[in-house]
Amino acid sequence: MGSEAAAVHNGDQAARMAEELRTYFATTPRVSPAAHVATEEQYRMMRDAGAFDGDAVSEAAEAILFERARVLLLGGRTSGERL
């Protein structure tokens, strides 16, 4: 692949990755390891059964870190906005 073709390919790949990040940050309803593998119903059932050690402070800290990561990676933009 020539250098110009590689640059176009890399640009396309970066654009796809940016859109995936925008979609992820716009559609992720919860933050925690369990939040990424469980459905909303499964998560509620596990939470209600006491499966998580989290408290309000640690959950708030996770939410703040999630928002900081979103801003860092996307510059404050949301899904559908161009980087």
Instruction: Kindly report the pTM of this predicted structure.
Output: 0.59
| Residue that is written with structure tokens 């390891």 in the block | 33
The domain locations on the chain are 3-74
Report helix, strand and coil shares of the chain as percent, to nearest 5.
70, 0, 30
pLDDT tens across 11-33, in order?
889 889 888 888 888 888 777 77
Confidence category of residue 5, pLDDT binned at 50, 70, 90: low
